[in-house]
Amino acid sequence: MTNPFSAQIDLKATLQSGQVFHWHQNADNSWSGLIAEMPARVFEKDRRLVVAQGDPGVIARHFALDHPLDQITAAFPRDPMSQAALTACEGMRILRQPHWECTATFITSSMKQVAHIRSMSLAIRERFGRRVEGSNVSTYPSFDALAGASESALRACGLGYRAGNLLQTAQILAEGGLNLDAIVKQKTPMLRKSLTGLPGVGVKVANCILLFAYERLDAVPIDTWIHRILLTMRGGRDGTAAQLARYARRRLGPYAGYVQQYLFHHARSLKQSKTPVAKKS
Protein backbone atom coordinates (compact mmCIF):
# COMPACT_ATOMS: atom_id res chain seq x y z
CA MET A 1 0.00 0.00 0.00
CA THR A 2 1.33 3.43 -0.93
CA ASN A 3 2.32 5.64 1.97
CA PRO A 4 -0.03 8.67 1.81
CA PHE A 5 2.65 10.84 3.38
CA SER A 6 4.82 10.38 0.30
CA ALA A 7 2.35 12.62 -1.57
CA GLN A 8 3.40 16.13 -2.50
CA ILE A 9 1.90 19.08 -0.63
CA ASP A 10 2.36 22.82 -0.30
CA LEU A 11 1.14 23.10 3.28
CA LYS A 12 1.15 26.89 3.57
CA ALA A 13 -0.78 27.37 0.33
CA THR A 14 -3.28 24.69 1.33
CA LEU A 15 -4.02 26.29 4.69
CA GLN A 16 -3.94 29.91 3.53
CA SER A 17 -5.94 29.62 0.31
CA GLY A 18 -9.35 30.47 1.76
CA GLN A 19 -10.58 26.93 2.42
CA VAL A 20 -10.24 26.82 6.19
CA PHE A 21 -9.74 29.63 8.68
CA HIS A 22 -8.55 28.52 12.12
CA TRP A 23 -5.10 26.99 11.57
CA HIS A 24 -2.09 29.01 12.71
CA GLN A 25 1.63 28.83 12.02
CA ASN A 26 3.97 28.28 14.96
CA ALA A 27 7.42 29.73 15.55
CA ASP A 28 9.02 26.49 14.32
CA ASN A 29 7.02 26.75 11.04
CA SER A 30 4.71 23.90 11.99
CA TRP A 31 0.95 24.48 11.75
CA SER A 32 -1.59 23.79 14.50
CA GLY A 33 -5.35 23.36 14.21
CA LEU A 34 -8.29 21.12 14.94
CA ILE A 35 -9.74 18.46 12.69
CA ALA A 36 -13.24 18.28 14.11
CA GLU A 37 -12.27 17.83 17.80
CA MET A 38 -8.80 16.35 17.29
CA PRO A 39 -5.78 18.60 17.91
CA ALA A 40 -3.27 18.38 15.07
CA ARG A 41 0.17 19.81 14.44
CA VAL A 42 1.87 19.24 11.11
CA PHE A 43 4.79 20.58 9.15
CA GLU A 44 6.19 20.30 5.68
CA LYS A 45 9.54 18.69 4.89
CA ASP A 46 10.77 18.20 1.33
CA ARG A 47 7.25 19.00 0.06
CA ARG A 48 5.82 16.17 2.17
CA LEU A 49 3.48 16.33 5.17
CA VAL A 50 4.92 15.29 8.54
CA VAL A 51 2.71 14.70 11.58
CA ALA A 52 3.89 16.07 14.92
CA GLN A 53 0.55 15.64 16.74
CA GLY A 54 -2.66 13.79 15.94
CA ASP A 55 -3.84 10.60 14.30
CA PRO A 56 -1.96 10.16 11.00
CA GLY A 57 -4.91 8.47 9.30
CA VAL A 58 -7.30 11.30 10.18
CA ILE A 59 -4.73 13.87 9.10
CA ALA A 60 -4.01 12.13 5.79
CA ARG A 61 -7.71 12.05 5.00
CA HIS A 62 -8.29 15.68 6.01
CA PHE A 63 -5.43 16.88 3.79
CA ALA A 64 -6.66 14.64 0.96
CA LEU A 65 -3.25 13.06 0.46
CA ASP A 66 -4.97 10.40 -1.65
CA HIS A 67 -6.02 12.92 -4.30
CA PRO A 68 -4.05 12.05 -7.47
CA LEU A 69 -2.43 15.47 -7.70
CA ASP A 70 -0.28 14.57 -10.71
CA GLN A 71 -3.39 13.47 -12.61
CA ILE A 72 -5.32 16.54 -11.48
CA THR A 73 -2.65 19.05 -12.47
CA ALA A 74 -2.06 17.28 -15.80
CA ALA A 75 -5.70 18.04 -16.60
CA PHE A 76 -5.30 21.80 -16.00
CA PRO A 77 -6.12 23.99 -19.01
CA ARG A 78 -3.10 25.02 -21.07
CA ASP A 79 -3.90 28.75 -21.08
CA PRO A 80 -1.28 31.11 -19.54
CA MET A 81 -3.39 32.07 -16.49
CA SER A 82 -4.08 28.49 -15.44
CA GLN A 83 -0.49 27.40 -16.03
CA ALA A 84 0.89 30.38 -14.09
CA ALA A 85 -1.37 29.52 -11.16
CA LEU A 86 -0.32 25.88 -11.36
CA THR A 87 3.37 26.82 -11.26
CA ALA A 88 2.90 29.26 -8.37
CA CYS A 89 0.69 26.98 -6.26
CA GLU A 90 2.16 23.57 -7.07
CA GLY A 91 1.31 21.10 -4.30
CA MET A 92 -1.77 22.89 -2.97
CA ARG A 93 -4.55 20.47 -2.02
CA ILE A 94 -8.30 20.73 -1.52
CA LEU A 95 -9.11 19.71 2.05
CA ARG A 96 -11.89 17.37 3.20
CA GLN A 97 -13.71 19.32 5.88
CA PRO A 98 -16.48 18.31 8.31
CA HIS A 99 -19.87 18.98 6.70
CA TRP A 100 -21.38 21.21 9.37
CA GLU A 101 -18.22 23.16 10.17
CA CYS A 102 -17.64 23.96 6.50
CA THR A 103 -21.30 24.85 5.91
CA ALA A 104 -21.42 27.18 8.90
CA THR A 105 -18.12 28.85 8.08
CA PHE A 106 -19.10 29.65 4.52
CA ILE A 107 -22.52 30.94 5.58
CA THR A 108 -20.54 33.58 7.48
CA SER A 109 -18.24 34.22 4.50
CA SER A 110 -20.70 36.16 2.35
CA MET A 111 -19.23 39.50 1.17
CA LYS A 112 -16.21 39.08 3.45
CA GLN A 113 -12.48 38.76 2.83
CA VAL A 114 -10.43 35.85 4.13
CA ALA A 115 -9.07 37.77 7.14
CA HIS A 116 -12.59 38.75 8.20
CA ILE A 117 -13.90 35.20 7.84
CA ARG A 118 -11.03 33.97 10.01
CA SER A 119 -11.80 36.58 12.67
CA MET A 120 -15.47 35.56 12.79
CA SER A 121 -14.64 31.85 12.87
CA LEU A 122 -12.25 32.27 15.78
CA ALA A 123 -14.73 34.46 17.67
CA ILE A 124 -17.51 31.86 17.26
CA ARG A 125 -15.17 29.12 18.45
CA GLU A 126 -14.06 31.17 21.45
CA ARG A 127 -17.59 32.06 22.55
CA PHE A 128 -19.54 28.90 21.74
CA GLY A 129 -16.98 26.15 21.21
CA ARG A 130 -15.36 23.75 23.62
CA ARG A 131 -11.80 23.86 24.89
CA VAL A 132 -9.70 20.86 23.89
CA GLU A 133 -6.59 19.78 25.74
CA GLY A 134 -3.54 20.20 23.53
CA SER A 135 -5.09 22.90 21.36
CA ASN A 136 -4.94 26.69 21.50
CA VAL A 137 -8.20 26.97 19.55
CA SER A 138 -11.65 25.78 20.59
CA THR A 139 -13.84 23.44 18.59
CA TYR A 140 -16.36 24.81 16.13
CA PRO A 141 -19.67 24.60 18.03
CA SER A 142 -22.24 22.03 16.95
CA PHE A 143 -25.44 23.17 15.29
CA ASP A 144 -27.26 22.10 18.46
CA ALA A 145 -25.11 24.51 20.46
CA LEU A 146 -25.68 27.39 18.06
CA ALA A 147 -29.41 26.66 17.73
CA GLY A 148 -29.79 27.78 21.33
CA ALA A 149 -27.78 30.97 20.88
CA SER A 150 -29.27 34.41 20.41
CA GLU A 151 -28.82 36.38 17.22
CA SER A 152 -27.34 39.25 19.24
CA ALA A 153 -24.68 36.93 20.68
CA LEU A 154 -23.74 35.82 17.18
CA ARG A 155 -23.67 39.41 15.98
CA ALA A 156 -21.21 40.11 18.81
CA CYS A 157 -18.83 37.73 17.00
CA GLY A 158 -18.77 40.16 14.06
CA LEU A 159 -21.27 38.33 11.85
CA GLY A 160 -23.63 41.22 11.14
CA TYR A 161 -26.67 40.12 9.09
CA ARG A 162 -25.05 36.68 8.65
CA ALA A 163 -25.90 35.94 12.28
CA GLY A 164 -29.57 35.40 11.42
CA ASN A 165 -28.72 33.03 8.58
CA LEU A 166 -26.36 30.98 10.72
CA LEU A 167 -28.84 30.80 13.59
CA GLN A 168 -31.74 29.76 11.35
CA THR A 169 -29.62 27.10 9.63
CA ALA A 170 -28.47 25.71 12.99
CA GLN A 171 -32.08 25.53 14.13
CA ILE A 172 -33.20 23.74 10.94
CA LEU A 173 -30.47 21.13 11.39
CA ALA A 174 -31.14 20.75 15.13
CA GLU A 175 -34.81 20.13 14.38
CA GLY A 176 -33.97 17.48 11.78
CA GLY A 177 -34.97 19.53 8.75
CA LEU A 178 -31.84 18.38 6.90
CA ASN A 179 -29.07 15.87 7.67
CA LEU A 180 -25.79 17.12 6.20
CA ASP A 181 -24.19 13.69 6.52
CA ALA A 182 -27.08 11.75 5.01
CA ILE A 183 -27.12 13.79 1.78
CA VAL A 184 -23.52 12.93 0.92
CA LYS A 185 -24.56 10.38 -1.73
CA GLN A 186 -26.81 12.79 -3.61
CA LYS A 187 -25.71 13.69 -7.12
CA THR A 188 -24.14 17.13 -7.34
CA PRO A 189 -27.15 19.05 -8.77
CA MET A 190 -29.47 17.61 -6.11
CA LEU A 191 -26.91 18.15 -3.37
CA ARG A 192 -26.49 21.77 -4.45
CA LYS A 193 -30.28 22.17 -4.34
CA SER A 194 -30.41 20.66 -0.84
CA LEU A 195 -27.76 23.08 0.39
CA THR A 196 -29.29 26.17 -1.20
CA GLY A 197 -32.46 25.44 0.75
CA LEU A 198 -30.61 26.58 3.88
CA PRO A 199 -30.67 30.26 4.95
CA GLY A 200 -27.57 32.09 3.77
CA VAL A 201 -26.56 29.42 1.26
CA GLY A 202 -26.69 30.76 -2.28
CA VAL A 203 -25.11 29.06 -5.28
CA LYS A 204 -21.61 30.44 -4.60
CA VAL A 205 -21.62 29.33 -0.95
CA ALA A 206 -23.12 25.98 -1.92
CA ASN A 207 -20.30 25.41 -4.39
CA CYS A 208 -17.74 26.20 -1.67
CA ILE A 209 -19.38 23.58 0.55
CA LEU A 210 -19.59 21.08 -2.32
CA LEU A 211 -15.89 21.53 -3.05
CA PHE A 212 -14.43 21.73 0.45
CA ALA A 213 -16.73 19.37 2.39
CA TYR A 214 -18.32 17.00 -0.13
CA GLU A 215 -15.31 16.51 -2.42
CA ARG A 216 -17.14 17.55 -5.59
CA LEU A 217 -13.94 18.55 -7.37
CA ASP A 218 -15.75 19.97 -10.39
CA ALA A 219 -17.67 22.55 -8.31
CA VAL A 220 -16.62 26.14 -9.05
CA PRO A 221 -17.40 28.87 -6.51
CA ILE A 222 -17.53 32.13 -8.47
CA ASP A 223 -16.59 35.07 -6.28
CA THR A 224 -15.25 38.46 -7.37
CA TRP A 225 -11.77 37.07 -8.07
CA ILE A 226 -12.95 34.16 -10.20
CA HIS A 227 -15.53 36.34 -11.95
CA ARG A 228 -12.75 38.66 -13.12
CA ILE A 229 -10.62 35.74 -14.25
CA LEU A 230 -13.49 34.16 -16.19
CA LEU A 231 -14.20 37.50 -17.88
CA THR A 232 -10.57 37.65 -19.01
CA MET A 233 -10.75 34.07 -20.30
CA ARG A 234 -13.97 34.95 -22.16
CA GLY A 235 -12.36 37.96 -23.81
CA GLY A 236 -14.28 40.42 -21.64
CA ARG A 237 -17.70 38.91 -22.35
CA ASP A 238 -19.83 38.85 -19.21
CA GLY A 239 -22.80 36.59 -18.63
CA THR A 240 -25.35 35.46 -16.10
CA ALA A 241 -24.21 33.44 -13.09
CA ALA A 242 -25.52 30.28 -14.74
CA GLN A 243 -23.72 31.03 -18.02
CA LEU A 244 -20.42 31.70 -16.24
CA ALA A 245 -20.80 28.52 -14.19
CA ARG A 246 -21.34 26.43 -17.32
CA TYR A 247 -18.39 28.12 -19.00
CA ALA A 248 -16.17 27.53 -15.96
CA ARG A 249 -16.96 23.82 -15.81
CA ARG A 250 -16.36 23.44 -19.54
CA ARG A 251 -13.23 25.60 -19.71
CA LEU A 252 -11.57 24.44 -16.49
CA GLY A 253 -12.14 20.74 -17.04
CA PRO A 254 -12.97 17.71 -14.86
CA TYR A 255 -11.11 19.13 -11.85
CA ALA A 256 -12.54 22.63 -12.27
CA GLY A 257 -12.71 23.13 -8.50
CA TYR A 258 -8.98 22.56 -8.15
CA VAL A 259 -8.22 24.88 -11.06
CA GLN A 260 -10.48 27.53 -9.53
CA GLN A 261 -8.72 27.29 -6.17
CA TYR A 262 -5.28 27.63 -7.77
CA LEU A 263 -6.46 30.64 -9.80
CA PHE A 264 -8.07 32.21 -6.73
CA HIS A 265 -5.05 31.80 -4.46
CA HIS A 266 -2.61 32.91 -7.14
CA ALA A 267 -4.62 36.06 -7.89
CA ARG A 268 -4.87 36.97 -4.19
CA SER A 269 -1.17 36.33 -3.67
CA LEU A 270 -0.24 38.58 -6.58
CA LYS A 271 -2.51 41.32 -5.25
CA GLN A 272 -1.04 41.07 -1.77
CA SER A 273 2.52 41.13 -3.07
CA LYS A 274 1.76 44.40 -4.89
CA THR A 275 0.12 46.08 -1.89
CA PRO A 276 2.51 48.72 -0.52
CA VAL A 277 3.44 48.39 3.14
CA ALA A 278 2.38 51.40 5.19
CA LYS A 279 5.32 53.32 6.65
CA LYS A 280 5.48 53.87 10.38
CA SER A 281 5.12 57.47 11.41
CATH topology of domain 4-66: TATA-Binding Protein (3.30.310)
What integer is the mean pLDDT of 171-177?
A: 98
Percent of the chain with pLDDT strictly greater than 70: 96
pLDDT of residue 274: 66
d(CA 47, CA 89): 12
The full DSSP string for 232-250 is HHTTT----HHHHHHHHHH
Per mean pLDDT, which range of 18-22, 137-141, 268-272 is the poorest? Answer: 268-272
Contacts of 138 (CB under 8 A, 6+ apart): 125, 126, 129, 130, 131, 132
Question: Hey, where are the domains in the chain?
Answer: 4-66, 77-89+215-271, 99-212
Percent of the chain with pLDDT strictly greater than 90: 87
Mean predicted lDDT score pLDDT of the chain = 93
pLDDT of residue 276: 45
Q: Give the architecture-level CATH label for domain 77-89+215-271.
A: Orthogonal Bundle (1.10)
Q: Give the architecture-level CATH label for domain 99-212.
A: Orthogonal Bundle (1.10)
> Higher confidence at residue 72 or residue 2?
72
pLDDT in tens, 40-82: 999 999 999 999 999 999 999 999 999 999 999 999 999 999 9
Cα 273 from chain centre: 22
